[in-house]
Amino acid sequence: MKREDMEETVLDMAKKLRAYADAVHGPTHARIAAVETRLQKLEDKIDENHKKLREEIREDLLQISAVQIRGSGTQRRRSPARERGYTPRAELWFFLRDCGENMNRWDGKSTAALAQRVEARENRVFWTVWIRWPGTSEPQKYEALVDTGAQCTLLPSRHVGEESVSIAGVTGGSQEFTLVEADVSLTGNEWKRHPIVTGPEAPCILGIDFLRNGYFKDPKGFRWAFGIAAVETEGVKQLNTLPGLSENPSAVGLLKVEEQQVPIATSIVHRRQYRTTRDAVIPIHKMIRELESQGVVSKTHSPFNSPIWPVSKSDGEWRLTVDYRALNEVTPPLSAAVRDMLELQYELESKAAKWYATIDIANAFFSIPLAAECRPQFAFTWRGVQYTWNRLPQGWKHSPTICHGLIQAALEKGEAPEHLQYIDDIIVWGNTAAEVFEKGKKIIQILLEAGFAIKKSKVKGPAHEIQFLGIKWQDGRRQIPTEVINKITAMSPPTNKKETQAFLGAIGFWRMHIPEYSQIVSPLYLVTRKKNDFHWGPEQQQAFAQIKQEIAHAVALGPVRTGPDVKNVLYSAARSHGLSWSLWQKVPGETRGRPLGFWSRSYRGSEANYTPTEKEILAAYEGVQAASEVIGTETQLLLAPRLPVLGWMFKGEVPSTHHATDATWSKWIALITQRARMGKLNRPGILEIITNWPEGENFGLTDEEQEQVTRAEEAPPYNQLPAEETHYALFTDGSCRIVGMNRKWKAAVWSPTRQVAEATEGEGGSSQLAELKAVQLALDIAEREGWPRLYLYTDSWMVANALWGWLKRWKEANWQRGGKPIWAAKEWKDIATRVERLPVKVRHVDAHFPKSRANEEHQNNEQVDRAAKIEVSKIDLYWEHKRELFLARWAHDASGHQGRDATYKWARDQGVDLTMDSISQVIHDCETCAAIKQAKRVKPLWYGGRWSKYKYGEAWQVDYITLPQTRQGKRYVLTMVEATTGWLETYPVPHATARNTILGLEKQVLWRHGTPERIESDNGTHFKNSLINTWAREHGIEWVYHIPYHAPAAGKVERHNALLKTQLKALGGGSFKNWEQHLAKATWLVNTRGSTNRAGPAQAEPLHTIDGDKVPVVHARGLLGKTVWIKSASSSDKPIRGVVFAQGPGCTWWIMQKDGTTRCVPQGDLIVG
């Protein structure tokens, strides 16, 4: 067959196959296409209906009655008048109705009027808004309607907040949204934190809550200002427009003073340069070249050298700092002149200004010239070339002090107006923008004339809000800046200890804004401890989320106000895990006070073992100290603890059940009583205002017990009582105040129908006792007049809760709790007995209710409150005398129980004036001084005589010494000295606690030398507590405490402490560096020490044998104290060198090796010599 015929045949065959395939599959394809067409039409119809429904819902939400948003939309609606030349009235009417118009007002109006209204509604303004939602980095773009009638900003998203918001439309529909904090920007560059109402179907509305923040530019370039605050800043002249300010980011000035002589290091320090990050190399190289051209640094050859430590700044630039830590250690000290930052904040809070301005000097350190002889010590190396500073360097410990002092001197010389300065940061304030501008202008002129450079970008204000020392200030209030909140809330959960520490460092500066801060973050601190492995569990995650939420919602602090009408209230509380206190201010007209600060901390050392009363006193003591720093000591302070405190401070003696030391009690008494005396005679410095104890809590019941308490019938509100029942209603209240040296209580009952008050008074007790007396007085009135029932109204939760259900439980428990009688058991028994005979219904009245909304019930409660008040009496002379005795006792204890003249001089040095008579009386009554005098009268025994009745290992003296903290966290050494030979045992621990004391004694004494009969120690809490007493009693050990401030009592262990410290310091090259590694060798050296006329403890021999006691020296006169070699188990190993210090059981000996370890070795394994 030819090729052409073959090709034609193949082509014909292919055509036939395609025709066959079309015949077979054609109908199927047609049916499939028809189905797809129908499905597509159905899907389009569903989408159209869904879109129409969504538009109807969205349009329905445009009129939000709950927040008064009117006339809003997410897109422009095309006007019916624009669609055709004429528009039927019906279409115009329906359009306006859909937009939320009240159509009743359009009845009878012409069609032209409706068309004009439709056109007006079309001329609405839309702005582009960028939103950066929480947890996202990329902003999202929206077209939002600018609606000044909307009180909140709404934007659609799928983010869910914690606070729910329900918005209702005018047609009756409603939708649930949530409130979310997000970053908002109209330019995409400048961001502001703002709450947004959001949900998947929320409209795009920019409300007045955001618009009144300041100026805005719309897409057409027009400026918009909303609200009075924005109008006030219009046209204010800014300080950064003044001439002489530099626009150079690297501007450096030169102060017109003599070259400064600074302290020179006492020894040469040379540290090699370590690796720097790749990102820092080019910027640092460029910076060094520029500084060299400006004369700030220069090439040099110096034996000193310190490594460069580049620091990245928040704006992306780099700061050239040098690691001068080694140089700082050998630099002589210099008196610090820089004010405390917290003190500056308190002072600025007290100004409460309306306008602020800040000035930041450019490169202030680099503007101060150094003397030529002081420059070599600051040398550093970069790329093989050594440089040094001709100006004051950054990173050196005295640079801030020198810089602050020179700037301060320049401002004083130029007679600068009132300002605050922190090194190179300066702030001025005033009530008007013009006043602030003039002050700032004067200071800038002074600094420029002195030779400093000031960058234009670093001058801010005048403005209502400004940042100074990293804090946002407005009207004297301290606030956390928005960018700080954004940074903290955007942090991810830490993955290691370093990241956890960085997070805690970021939030720790703002702890005064966070109530219960230490309790919240305590789980985070647990994972940062060196002894703990990093484990991020549910507790840490909960604490992490909670503290970020607290930071995001932190309140502003301040301003600090003064005046006779200002009330300063200090709330203090001692909780299970620590202390907390907060300071508030309130002036007339405010329904709630303003916070000045929140403080909290965990218990330290033995504080956790204090009694509840001592813990409350400790919280009040810490709170009074903190409050004095904020508001000063001349203003009256209202102290509101959970338990009475002042009563203990004015008693003549410390309670017998106390756990805190006498010196601690004296410290508490001295501060609080001295603070109470300050102020006017008829206005004590401190007043206690306990109203209910504990206010709003369970009055000592556990959660489980509280759930089982069933409430009795509650009295109805007073204004709902029938007229005939109001005759049986009484209001009760009680109060307590200090009158002279005693506390005086007053209980009152008010009858609203008779408008008569009846009261009773007494001494001692508290305001809680006065509340009970008021209840008893009300029961007396009801029983006297034969009332069938009694309606009792009180503002005390204690009374209400007790009468609602606690009385029954207390009675069943025989008026005891935990084996102890309940508080005021006698009064409660009397009330319970009388309540069984007389039906009593109780209602709690809110005492903190705004006067503008107070009803008849609150007014009657205010009447009884007035009747129960006690007038504040003058502080009498006896109180004055007792206060001086408290101060004298504190000075005598703190000065070390010295004599009269020495105590008087010590008190004068502390700024406390005391009389010789008061000091003499305190010394005469001091039990410690009496014991010391008695000990001195006893004739001292010859050396070793007091221990002659004890055998080896039966008597020990113990003590703790404090050393620098090691990397393992250890900073204490328990020293134990055997009394007859002076043998020393040591045990390093991280904390000086009773538990560590017992562990050290068991490991170093009981296991090696047997159980002693007697142990002596000082009166520290790590020795004098119930745990030590129980352990000593169980082992049959007599534990004796030394007389305080009487050195001979603890002479042996104190001498060994000094010897041990000397050895540790010698082994550390003049310091205690690596002392834990040297401890064993130092102990060895102390035990093997000796002199020409006395042998060391290991060689000491007793003067005689006591009852044939097997003292090691007696039975091995030639072996004890000798150097021996211990045979090894393997013949190939070398013998181990050691010293024999005691005889073991049988034919064994206790050997102390050179590394400090001890072991009991058979005599056959020893080689002498």
Residues 1094-1104: tens digit of each pLDDT: 445 544 443 33
> Residues 465, 572: one domain?
no
Residue 733 backbone zone (phi > 0: left; psi -120 to 50: alpha; other: beta)? beta
> Residues 524, 620: one domain?
yes
1032 occurs within a structural domain: yes
Q: Is pLDDT larger for residue 285 or for residue 1133?
A: 285
Strand partners, 69: 64
Question: Mean of the pLDDT values across residues 877-904?
Answer: 73
Distance of CA 1117 to the CA centre of its chain: 64
Biggest CA–CA distance in the chain, Å, is 146
pLDDT category at 630 given cuts 50, 70, 90 is: confident
94 occurs within a structural domain: no
Check whether 56 has a pLDDT greater than 80. Answer: no
Question: Mean of the pLDDT values across residues 324-335?
Answer: 87
Distance (Å) of CA 1025 to CA 12, 659, 848:
113, 8, 44
Provide the pLDDT for residue 218: 55
Cβ atoms of 427 and 468 within 8 Å: the answer is yes
Cβ atoms of 352 and 476 within 8 Å: the answer is yes
- What 3-state DSSP class applies to 407? helix
Phi then psi for residue 1043, to 5 deg, are -75, 125
Provide the pLDDT for residue 205: 84
User: For position 673, which CATH number holds?
Assistant: 3.10.20.370
From CA 114, how far away is CA 88, in angstroms rounded?
A: 10
Provide the pLDDT for residue 388: 93
pLDDT category at 813 given cuts 50, 70, 90 is: confident
The burial class, CB within 10 Å (0-12 / 13-18 / 19+), for 776 is: middle
Q: What is the layout of strands, in order, in the sheet containing 465-468?
A: 465-468, 471-474, 477-479
Output DSSP code: residue 864: H
- Of 154-158, 427-431, 693-697, 1008-1012, the least confident: 693-697
Output DSSP code: residue 951: P
1066 occurs within a structural domain: yes
Distance of CA 960 to the CA centre of its chain: 31
109 occurs within a structural domain: no
Strand partners, 306: 380
pLDDT category at 1151 given cuts 50, 70, 90 is: confident
Q: In the structure encoding, which two tokens stand for residue 701, read together?
A: 């019941």
Q: Is pLDDT larger for residue 229 or for residue 867?
A: 867
Provide the pLDDT for residue 371: 92
What b/e string do you get for 1021-1046 counting C-beta neighbours within 10 Å, with b at 16 or more? bbbbbeebeebbeebebebeebbbeb
Check whether 450 has a pLDDT greater than 70. Answer: yes
938 occurs within a structural domain: no
Q: In the structure encoding, which two tokens stand for residue 350, read together?
A: 């007290």
- What 3-state DSSP class applies to 197? strand
pLDDT category at 168 given cuts 50, 70, 90 is: low
> pLDDT (tens digit, 9 = 90+) per residue, 519-549?
899 899 888 888 888 888 888 888 898 888 8
Check whether 591 has a pLDDT greater than 70. Answer: no
Q: In the structure encoding, which two tokens stand for residue 919, read together?
A: 């000091």
Q: Is the pTM of this model over 0.75?
A: no
The burial class, CB within 10 Å (0-12 / 13-18 / 19+), for 156 is: middle
Cβ atoms of 582 and 595 within 8 Å: the answer is yes
> Residues 774, 829: one domain?
yes
User: For position 1119, which CATH number holds?
Assistant: 2.30.30.140
From CA 846, how far away is CA 860, in angstroms rounded?
A: 12
- The tally of domains found in the chain comes to 8
- What 3-state DSSP class applies to 22? helix
CB atoms within 10 A of CB 482: 14
305 occurs within a structural domain: yes
Provide the pLDDT for residue 379: 93
Q: Is pLDDT larger for residue 1101 or for residue 618?
A: 618
pLDDT category at 306 given cuts 50, 70, 90 is: very high
Question: Mean of the pLDDT values across residues 578-592?
Answer: 81
Provide the pLDDT for residue 178: 83
> Residues 1058, 1118: one domain?
no
> Residues 897, 840: one domain?
no
- The domain of 294 spans 239-479
CA proximity to 831, closest of 811, 861, 814, 846: 811
DSSP calls for 516-553: THHHHHHHHHHTTSTTSPP---HHHHHHHHHHHHHHHT
CB atoms within 10 A of CB 791: 23
Provide the pLDDT for residue 1109: 36
> Residues 1034, 1080: one domain?
yes
Cβ atoms of 268 and 304 within 8 Å: the answer is yes
935 occurs within a structural domain: no
> pLDDT (tens digit, 9 = 90+) per residue, 1039-1054?
888 766 555 556 788 8
> Residues 309, 160: one domain?
no
Check whether 229 has a pLDDT greater than 50. Answer: no
Arithmetic mean of pLDDT over the chain? 77
At position 874, the amino acid (one-letter code) is K
Cβ atoms of 292 and 326 within 8 Å: the answer is no
> Residues 828, 795: one domain?
yes
Check whether 975 has a pLDDT greater than 90. Answer: yes
> pLDDT (tens digit, 9 = 90+) per residue, 173-200?
567 788 888 888 887 777 777 888 888 8
323 occurs within a structural domain: yes
CA proximity to 1002, closest of 1040, 1032, 1027: 1032
Provide the pLDDT for residue 376: 92
Q: What is the layout of strands, in order, in the sheet containing 297-299?
A: 297-299, 385-389, 380-382
Cβ atoms of 595 and 557 within 8 Å: the answer is yes
From CA 993, how far away is CA 1144, in angstroms rounded?
A: 31
> pLDDT (tens digit, 9 = 90+) per residue, 330-347?
988 887 677 778 788 878
Cβ atoms of 378 and 264 within 8 Å: the answer is no
Question: Mean of the pLDDT values across residues 688-711?
Answer: 37
From CA 759, how far away is CA 154, in angstroms rounded?
A: 58
Specify the length of the chain in residues: 1169
Distance (Å) of CA 609 to CA 923, 1005, 1023, 1034:
30, 27, 14, 22
Question: Mean of the pLDDT values across residues 557-568?
Answer: 82
Q: In the structure encoding, which two tokens stand for residue 507, read together?
A: 């939030």
> Residues 984, 1073: one domain?
yes
Cis check for the bond before 462: say yes or no (omega within 30 of 0): yes
At position 799, the amino acid (one-letter code) is V
Question: Mean of the pLDDT values across residues 763-767?
Answer: 78
Strand partners, 299: 387
From CA 1078, how far away is CA 396, in angstroms rounded?
A: 32
The burial class, CB within 10 Å (0-12 / 13-18 / 19+), for 870 is: middle
pLDDT category at 439 given cuts 50, 70, 90 is: very high
User: For position 1018, which CATH number holds?
Assistant: 3.30.420.10
The burial class, CB within 10 Å (0-12 / 13-18 / 19+), for 9 is: exposed
Q: In the structure encoding, which two tokens stand for residue 134, read together?
A: 């929480």
Helix (H) or strand (E) holding 1015: strand 1014-1017
> pLDDT (tens digit, 9 = 90+) per residue, 815-870?
876 677 887 888 888 888 888 888 888 888 876 666 667 788 888 888 888 888 87
Distance of CA 14 to the CA centre of its chain: 88
Provide the pLDDT for residue 391: 92
Question: Mean of the pLDDT values across residues 580-605?
Answer: 83
- Of 365-379, 831-845, 1152-1166, the least confident: 1152-1166
Check whether 587 has a pLDDT greater than 50. Answer: yes
pLDDT category at 736 given cuts 50, 70, 90 is: confident
Q: Is pLDDT larger for residue 996 or for residue 640?
A: 996
Rg of the Cα atoms in the chain: 41
The residue from 867, 885, 902 where one domain ends is: 867
- What 3-state DSSP class applies to 499? helix
Q: Is pLDDT larger for residue 613 or for residue 648?
A: 613
The burial class, CB within 10 Å (0-12 / 13-18 / 19+), for 1133 is: exposed
From CA 528, how far away is CA 499, in angstroms rounded?
A: 9
Strand partners, 478: 473, 557
End-to-end CA gap in the chain: 122
Q: In the structure encoding, which two tokens stand for residue 825, read together?
A: 């058991």
Cβ atoms of 685 and 676 within 8 Å: the answer is yes
Provide the pLDDT for residue 1137: 82
Provide the pLDDT for residue 237: 81
pLDDT category at 1152 given cuts 50, 70, 90 is: confident
- % of the chain exceeding 70 in pLDDT: 73
DSSP calls for 26-88: HHHHHHHHHHHHHHHHHHHHHHHHHHHHHHHHHHHTTSBTTTTB-S--SSPPPPHHHHSSS--
Question: Mean of the pLDDT values across residues 806-816?
Answer: 79
Provide the pLDDT for residue 279: 78
Cβ atoms of 621 and 672 within 8 Å: the answer is yes
Question: Mean of the pLDDT values across residues 873-895?
Answer: 64
> Residues 973, 892: one domain?
no
> Residues 896, 831: one domain?
no
> Residues 425, 281: one domain?
yes
